[in-house]
């Protein structure tokens, strides 16, 4: 399992590592290396952030579906749209989803680079002009797309609506009025498939590296985040 151990040097969650290692323990290093090296399923191109399980319980594909999030604080059900796009269209689609949020937003960046020490950490920045935010995010496109330990959420609390680009590189939109966001997804060539499954619904692994960790710290600085958790 030498290759697996080397790969997991760039993977978070020790408990998840143990689980994945158990499921892969019958594989040869050659079989494992071949699986982790696959970055395309049919016409769907993966980012470097996440890989599915060896038995492919969920085959990565493009599309979107509707769901519901239960807000326990307000005891209300919040409509949700979840989507995935091939790597070539993923970040463009995320950036286009931000437009309906309005000219001034809040932003949350999520990290699990040091999961064993602090768990997931959410860092919050209030009131940033959308053009400024989008300009900064374009500068960090490579890290945001390919780092399996970084996620970002942009929200307008006054609406309220929120767009997430999570660690799995799934696009998630929360809010009562989702039609503008559905229009963006359709314009991006994504089909509504209510039966589709996401990589989070089966075993999977995340990957990061030292360069992405450094870039995350740079992103914090550019966004004016001092490290305060939210």
Contact 109, 150 (CB under 8 A): yes
Span 34-45, pLDDT tens digits = 877 889 999 999
CA distances from 107 to 130, 137, 148 (A): 10, 11, 19
- The continuous run of DSSP H or E covering 78 comes out as strand 76-84
Beta bridge partners of 78: 69
Q: What is the pTM of this model?
A: 0.86
Per-residue pLDDT of 26-65, as tens digits, reads 777 787 778 778 899 999 999 999 888 878 888 999 999 9
Confidence of residue 228 (pLDDT cuts 50, 70, 90): low
Q: Return the closest-CA partner of residue 208 out of 78, 13, 2.
A: 13
């Amino acid at each position: 399992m030498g290759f697996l151990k080397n790969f997991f040097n760039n993977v978070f969650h020790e408990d998840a590592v143990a689980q994945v290692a158990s499921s892969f323990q019958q594989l040869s290093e050659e079989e494992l290396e071949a699986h982790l090296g696959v970055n395309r399923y049919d016409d769907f191109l993966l980012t470097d952030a996440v890989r599915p399980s060896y038995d492919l319980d969920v085959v990565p594909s493009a599309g979107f579906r509707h769901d519901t999030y239960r807000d326990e604080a307000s005891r209300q059900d919040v409509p949700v749209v979840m989507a995935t796009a091939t790597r070539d269209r993923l970040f463009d689609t995320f950036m286009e989803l931000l437009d309906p949020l309005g000219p001034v937003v809040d932003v949350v960046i999520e990290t699990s680079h040091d999961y064993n020490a602090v768990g997931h950490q959410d860092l919050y920045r209030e009131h940033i002009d959308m053009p400024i935010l989008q300009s900064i995010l374009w500068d960090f496109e490579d890290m945001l797309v390919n780092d399996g330990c970084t996620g970002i959420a942009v929200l307008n609390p006054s609406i309220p609506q929120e767009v997430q680009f999570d660690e799995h590189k799934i696009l998630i939109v929360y809010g009562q009025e989702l039609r503008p966001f559905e229009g963006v997804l359709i314009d991006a060539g994504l089909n509504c498939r209510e039966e589709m499954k996401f990589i989070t619904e089966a075993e999977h692994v995340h990957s990061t590296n030292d360069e992405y960790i450094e870039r995350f710290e740079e992103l914090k600085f550019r966004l004016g985040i001092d490290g305060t958790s939210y």
